[in-house]
Structure 1
Amino acid sequence: MFKNIIFKRLIILILISFSITFGVYAFLEEETGQLDSIPNFDEIIPLVDSNKYSHLKSDALATNQQGFFDEPIEILTVYGTVYLDPESLAFQVVNNNGYIWSSTINENVPGLPNTFKRRARSAIILESFNTGVTSFALTEENLYESNTEIELTLITNGFHALITFGRSGIQMGLYVTFGLDSIHVEIPYEEINESGVFKISSIKVYPYFGAVLENQIPGYVFLPDGIGALVDYKLTDPLISTNYQKEVYDRNIGYNLVSNMNTFLSGGTRIYAPVFGFVHGINQNAVFANITSGSEYAMINLYFPARTRGFTTVFSEFVYRKTYRQPIDKVGNTISLLQSFSNQMDIKIEYTLLENEDANYVGMAKTYRDYLDLESYESQYDSIPLRLDAIGIEKNKGLLFNQTTVMTTFSEFRDITLDLNSHGIDYIIGNFSGFTKRGVTWSAPQYENISRRLGSKNDLESLQEALSSLYFVTEYLKASNQSSGYNQYFDLAKKINDQLYTYLSGTDTKYLLEYHAVQSIMNKSIAKLSDEPIDGFAIESMGSLLYDDFSNKKYLPEAILMYQELLSNIEKDIALYDVNSYLWKSMDLYYDFPMYSSQYITFDDTVPFLSIVLSGSVQLFGPHANFYPYARDELLRLIDFGVYPSFVVTQKSSKELQETGLEAIYSSKYDDIKKSILAYYDFVDGALSSVIGQRIVDRQVITNGVIQITYENDIVIYVNYRETPFTQGSLIIGAKNYVIKDLNA
């Protein structure tokens, strides 16, 4: 029956496409009974425009706002002539458009105080702690500090400077070299000397490179906040009193007194990749910055005009030390201490100079994609995948005894899968959580024996055969106090103040494990489970959680290397959740892909930078669609960004999850959400099935609320977020709908 409906819809689609324009396809909502009972899908509500969308930008010409330095040193490089100010180490270059890129501001702006000019011109701004006083007072220096010495040496395609700061006496080396289309900046750790009482807190590198005075230059700053964000250059707004500053890969969680780490949250979404950029004239001139070393301790800063004498600037900062509070008794008294050792890193930043059609956030995404050198994937299916997460066993505390609830057995999950197959969804990636006797919440980190309450091994084999792929969901960084397989006295990681990383919930307490325990437990578990009839592992936390193991003197760079090594040793497929860039090459599937930026009031646009980077290389799956407040807009966003739908399902009602660690799941019973699964999947598949395994090569805003996405196979998807149809020539897009066009048709 359903196949007949699909066939009829296909015929109608073909007829509609020829009536609009040759080679154009649009989603058609037929009254099938499948869609008419889903109000948050069918109802067309007005578009509430905000910075969660992308907007049309000005195409105004960017003109040079400053001339060359007075009496610079001219350095001949493969890029061309570099103009260097030897006193501040500021540089200028000219691109092929004749546009001057400068690492500093125009000093001729009236009213700027000399102190600000010197700070803005300096290649390095150093902050250091004075250990000679008990308060560890912070001192800031730039290259104009009295008694600062610079030993400048010209090298091939650039220069090297040995800097000794006048007040602190701290010494460091700076290398700047120029390639065919790039600038490389490096501060090697081995060239840093801080033998006196001053110890480095942080280093800001070329903090005013590309800075713009108010809105004198058309363009924007790109931030890797969430999926991606843009901030337009604009006039000074006195209401914006706080600059943007975020640590790459989220807040460092090792320096706090928080007793429940579940409450130690970042404001908004985090930074997934160590990059940023700025555009001077859309499709004219741009710079894309990529922190290729030292990102574990990096921060991205965006200074707004109200705080910087009218200038907007974006730059990276690197943290070498922090102060922290150390408990001294059980009453809660603490003292302030300074990190006794330095975070070890070689700072390396690559600035790529982009021009013309690449001088925008899409060009930045393609540049980063080329740098990562991600492999493309191929699919044996003509339809998109559906991520389907099933919950098996969950535990909770009873009055006298712990209670066990079996939400879905292997056979029941198989039946759900076969039912969806019968309705035309053939490509289903199943993820089964809670497959041990301790259930979803209490199992971590030990996963070895499958609970027979879920069914026999034959049942599991039948489930695997029904699904396209079957993954077991596991967690190896966090250990539940209701589980086993680890020693609570010797295997738990600690913060710098000797406190445990503790996560409290209503049903259990979890702790972060020491690195050696993670390795031992994970290797043992994977070896045991690999004999089961499954296709891979969906591993929680590892993709997003980075922490220091201070008691064993193991730090963030070693954590990343450990993760990469552990994952490389797994022979089966790997799915990770909410994943930072250092593990993108280590996974096969990306779950819970970020769909928004932080949407701070200072942001102007949300853009799919991350999905453009990963398109065609990794299958991306969004958060569970069970909980969409207004599905239509969220599904259009999936299509716009090239992301596939996800659902969590159970055989029993989600009411059974109340008073468990999964009580936030309020709608999961398959019989209740079946119509939504079919409708949502059909809507997204109608668009994205034409571009499976293809990379996004361009994305344009036709008008606010209407987006054009172009793929490398010459398929163009038009998305209309507006509540009214959009017409442009022969192109007609229905309200809250999409159209597909094949440029080769």
Structure 2
Amino acid sequence: MFNAKWKLAALAAVLLAGGGSVISVYGGGASDAPGTAVMAAGAAADAQSNGNSGADGGSDGGIALTPAKPDRQDELSFFRSNGYTKPEAAVQPPVPAAKIEAGYEPIGQNGKMALYMNKKTFAIQLQDLASGYVWSSVPSAKDFQAEELNEDWKNAMQSPFIIDFFAEDAFRTTSNYRSLQGKAASMKAIDNGMEVTYELPAIQSKLTVRVALDKDGLVVRLLNDSIQEKGPSRIASVQMYPFLGSVRGGSVPGYLFIPDGSGALIRFTDNHSQFDEPYVGQIYANDIAVTGFDGMGSTVRYPVFGIVHGVNKNALVGMVEDGKMNAEIVAYPSGVNTNFYWISTRFQIRSAYFQPTSKAMGGINMYTKNKTEGDKQVRYHLLSGSKADYVGMAQEYKGYLEQNGMLPEASGSSANAGGDIPMRLDLLGSEMAPGILKRGVVKMTSFAEAQAILEDLKKAGIRNIQAGIQGWGKSGITGAQPAAPGYEKAIGGKQGLKTLLEYTKREGIGLYLNTDYTNLISGAPRVEPRADAVRMVNNRLIEYRYVGRYVSDLYKDLKGYMLSPATAQKLAAKDFSNFRKDGLDQAALNSTGFFLYSDYNKKHKLNRTKSAELYGSIGEEAAKQSLKLNISVPNDYMLKHASAYFDMPLTSAQFMYTTDTVPFVPIVMHGVMPYYAGYGNNNPDPELDMLRAIEYGANPAFLVTHEPSWKLQNTPSGFLYTTQYQDWAPEIKKQYAKANEVLKQVQQASIAGRSVPALGIVKVSYDNGVSVWVNYTSSDYKAGGVTVKARSAAAVTGGEQP
């Protein structure tokens, strides 16, 4: 993403195969170099080769590869890295049988599953009535015997919840129901389940948890109002039934799914490294109004996770519902503290923060006094057979979003089925420039020059273009944020936009203005930091140096703040009305909602739930104005307002303990709305990255300027090194033609399946009967009647679906 989101990322750093007929092919040409997968900005990117859990790439069920090149094995090792997906074993190991243990009583049944509880330990078991498979919240006696655990871990694994609490000195301690001498204060049957009030004498606290079945799955709910704390300790977080589905080492074949980037897997194995830390994904990012930018970790935009016990055999998918505004997804790989793999939701009740007491930054550690808002709830659905893998999880999650009205009712695509795919082309209009007495503006692309660029692309046969203007406001893209009303004269002013808009409407090109309601820059005419910027829990403004350390020191005085969601909603409503008056029918949000934060300003105090509602109202305001809203990496609560999805994640952070990267988010979104890859001219290996985009079904996107990039050298956008259209025009036309030839066959279809027949070879099947094959390797690949050239992709009709 350009500019605002890039700066926020920088800020966070500071702070089986069937035959068929080939109908279209993208040929990238043979290459000996395997290329480099793009890492998520600011994320940990230590790629680890964890060995192949399936085929070795030499052959698979009679599918032959062309003779290996001398460096073939080195290349195949590259595709064993966690930046790609490994093939599944041709023969899956058996899944150990599980049964309903003695002492468990039935407490619910919904036709799909049966729920049992041990009313002495409050452990639960969940049985899939279709397959008979049993999921347990406590590891088996065999696993306990095999594992050398200290008393705390033994207690934790047998407890209905893990709990963190703050002592009087604000020191945070992790414990559990059993270690805290827990007992049931009350227990009562509810519809298809049980409600238990737990008493924790060691910290003089109580809390109530409901566990029950509804028509679709298992629901576990913590009643927020039930939390009572009579002693000096205060509850910090709760994880309910955290060991549901846990696996000891490689005793069960399968994996954990974590919602990192596009999606990632942690396969179960006995052969693994020792790891220092678990995966902790904060849903909607850290609340910077509490934590600041220090210690920013992984961000979860779609609160879903899963466990597979035998690929295409048994799976459990969890979806965080109530309380997700203040929750994390935590996954422990085997090798962190114990040899168990486990994953759960950690609901935050209170958070720690630092309270300065002097200008020299002395201070004390504290924690928020009030509990986070609302009940906390996680839902579990069971999957079996061919649906029991990450693809089935994505399809289940997509159905969940649809059922709950969280997806747009109809696709926002401007393309017809079978027509050309859309291309996103953003043009940078103007940027702030240095000056002796005051700063000026550097013109990079006028409205007239933007039209000339679009005309050139149309002549090249690119008919479906979605064009955006960055830096259209007065003083350029950085000069005034949020952008002030009006259009920069240096690029043609209001009349220039009018002329461009007339052209785009005549030619059927979509035109939008890129805007943002997250950053507030000191000196912006529409807002004032003390009134409109977010205040932290310690009453300080969230202030940071807006320009990154690698950009010119000429702007080191440029201070950035986070715009209050309340102000953001008011400004957006006004701007959207003006956009419509000016003839526009689209807009784009660059980073609004990228971080979800509270606001402790006493005049308009907001918690994260209210902030999310205000961001949602921005989408509702766009709908009132009949304005299509293109959103960059929208959080789940913004999806229903999006006409298009910008900057689709095409990789994971590749943490050392992950074994595979998978396209979970694209599987959810394909066929719902058009989505686009990040800017292609930012990629280190355009050929490889285009293949990745094709595999993930992402449309191409580019950021260009009329003027040469060197003119940005002494501006806040000095990090943009290669944008001149004249340099990029041939490559843009080439990449678009190749992507379009394949993706136009499937652009409005949904992803029905995905398989990896061999290392570096992927087959993605769509519900319209077309499959997209991608060959990342430097050797041609043959499967039945299908041949996919080295470093290329092909769309194939018919044949066996994965």
Provide TM-score, normalisation by structure 2. 0.85
- Of 535-544 and 64-73, more deviation after overlay is shown by 64-73
1:23 matched residue in structure 2: 21
2:426 matched residue in structure 1: 389
Q: 2:213 aligns with which of 167, 178, 181?
A: 178
* Distance in 2 separating the partners of 1:523 and 1:416: 31
2:251 matched residue in structure 1: 216
Q: 1:723 aligns with which of 752, 761, 778?
A: 778
Task: Classify the secondary structure of the residue corresponding to 2:614.
Answer: helix
The answer on whether the counterparts of 2:579 and 2:585 sit within 8 Å (CA) in structure 1 is no
* Distance in 1 separating the partners of 2:665 and 2:20: 32
The answer on whether the counterparts of 1:245 and 1:302 sit within 8 Å (CA) in structure 2 is yes
Q: Does 1:248 align with 2:283?
A: yes
The answer on whether the counterparts of 2:20 and 2:798 sit within 8 Å (CA) in structure 1 is no
- Of 276-285 and 152-161, more deviation after overlay is shown by 152-161
| Superposed displacement of residue 140, structure 1 | 2.1
Task: Classify the secondary structure of the residue corresponding to 1:672.
Answer: helix
* Distance in 2 separating the partners of 1:432 and 1:673: 18
Sequence identity, in percent? 26
The answer on whether the counterparts of 1:438 and 1:483 sit within 8 Å (CA) in structure 2 is no
Task: Map 1:452-531 to 2 at 5 A.
Answer: 452-455=489-492, 456-457=495-496, 458-465=498-505, 466=507, 468-504=509-545, 505=547, 506=553, 507=555, 508-531=558-581
* Distance in 2 separating the partners of 1:168 and 1:599: 39
* Distance in 1 separating the partners of 2:214 and 2:528: 52
| Superposed displacement of residue 628, structure 1 | 1.7
- Of 604-613 and 244-253, more deviation after overlay is shown by 244-253
Q: Deviations over 1:136-189 (max 9, x none)?
A: 453623146325334221222111111111212221111111245521111121
* Distance in 2 separating the partners of 1:639 and 1:685: 9
Q: 2:341 aligns with which of 307, 312, 333?
A: 312
Task: Map 1:146-157 to 2 at 5 A.
Answer: 146=181, 148-157=183-192
CA change 1:220–1:147 in 2 (3 A) is: closer
Task: Classify the secondary structure of the residue corresponding to 1:666.
Answer: coil
- Of 396-405 and 355-364, more deviation after overlay is shown by 396-405
Q: Deviations over 1:338-384 (max 9, x none)?
A: 21211112111110000001100000000110011133425444101
Task: Classify the secondary structure of the residue corresponding to 1:193.
Answer: strand
Q: Deviations over 1:88-119 (max 9, x none)?
A: 21111322222221111013332445543331
| Superposed displacement of residue 135, structure 1 | 4.3
- Aligned AA (2:175): E
Aligned-CA RMSD value? 2.5
2:124 matched residue in structure 1: 91
2:724 matched residue in structure 1: 669
* Distance in 2 separating the partners of 1:546 and 1:713: 37
2:315 matched residue in structure 1: 286
CA change 1:328–1:575 in 2 (3 A) is: same
Task: Classify the secondary structure of the residue corresponding to 2:523.
Answer: coil
* Distance in 1 separating the partners of 2:335 and 2:466: 50
Task: Classify the secondary structure of the residue corresponding to 1:667.
Answer: coil
Q: Deviations over 1:493-534 (max 9, x none)?
A: 111122212231153222112333222222222222321132
Unmatched 5+ residue regions in structure 2? 1-17, 37-70, 548-552
CA change 1:555–1:220 in 2 (3 A) is: same
The answer on whether the counterparts of 1:286 and 1:354 sit within 8 Å (CA) in structure 2 is yes
Task: Classify the secondary structure of the residue corresponding to 2:228.
Answer: coil
1:297 matched residue in structure 2: 326
CA change 1:40–1:182 in 2 (3 A) is: closer
* Distance in 2 separating the partners of 1:147 and 1:534: 61
2:751 matched residue in structure 1: 696
Q: Does 1:100 align with 2:98?
A: no
Q: Does 1:198 align with 2:233?
A: yes
| Superposed displacement of residue 481, structure 1 | 1.4
Q: Does 1:331 align with 2:360?
A: yes
CA change 1:401–1:307 in 2 (3 A) is: closer
- Of 584-593 and 277-286, more deviation after overlay is shown by 584-593
Q: Deviations over 1:400-428 (max 9, x none)?
A: 33121111111110110011001010111
1:225 matched residue in structure 2: 260
The answer on whether the counterparts of 1:395 and 1:442 sit within 8 Å (CA) in structure 2 is yes
- Aligned AA (1:69): E
* Distance in 2 separating the partners of 1:725 and 1:122: 54
Q: Deviations over 1:557-581 (max 9, x none)?
A: 1110001112111120101112222
2:95 matched residue in structure 1: 63
* Distance in 2 separating the partners of 1:247 and 1:80: 30
Task: Classify the secondary structure of the residue corresponding to 1:176.
Answer: strand
1:9 matched residue in structure 2: none
CA change 1:549–1:81 in 2 (3 A) is: closer
Task: Map 1:64-83 to 2 at 5 A.
Answer: 64=96, 66-78=98-110, 79=112, 81-83=114-116
- Of 359-368 and 75-84, more deviation after overlay is shown by 75-84
- Aligned AA (1:220): Y
| Superposed displacement of residue 647, structure 1 | 0.5
Q: 1:547 aligns with which of 597, 619, 636?
A: 597
Task: Classify the secondary structure of the residue corresponding to 1:192.
Answer: strand
CA change 1:21–1:88 in 2 (3 A) is: closer
- Structure number with the bigger relative contact order (C-alpha 8 A, sep ≥ 6) is 2
The answer on whether the counterparts of 1:124 and 1:142 sit within 8 Å (CA) in structure 2 is yes
Q: Does 1:440 align with 2:477?
A: yes
2:658 matched residue in structure 1: 603
The answer on whether the counterparts of 1:236 and 1:305 sit within 8 Å (CA) in structure 2 is no
The answer on whether the counterparts of 2:26 and 2:741 sit within 8 Å (CA) in structure 1 is no
Q: Deviations over 1:529-571 (max 9, x none)?
A: 3211322111122141211101233111111000111211112
Q: Does 1:408 align with 2:445?
A: yes
Aligned length: 711
The answer on whether the counterparts of 2:352 and 2:368 sit within 8 Å (CA) in structure 1 is yes
Task: Classify the secondary structure of the residue corresponding to 1:510.
Answer: strand
* Distance in 1 separating the partners of 2:664 and 2:514: 28
* Distance in 2 separating the partners of 1:703 and 1:40: 18
* Distance in 2 separating the partners of 1:30 and 1:234: 36
Provide TM-score, normalisation by structure 1. 0.91
* Distance in 1 separating the partners of 2:20 and 2:201: 71
CA change 1:248–1:81 in 2 (3 A) is: closer
The answer on whether the counterparts of 2:315 and 2:382 sit within 8 Å (CA) in structure 1 is yes
Q: 1:657 aligns with which of 712, 734, 742?
A: 712
Q: 1:630 aligns with which of 651, 662, 685?
A: 685
| Superposed displacement of residue 241, structure 1 | 2.6
Q: Does 1:535 align with 2:535?
A: no
* Distance in 1 separating the partners of 2:487 and 2:359: 42
Unmatched 5+ residue regions in structure 1? 1-19
CA change 1:231–1:144 in 2 (3 A) is: same
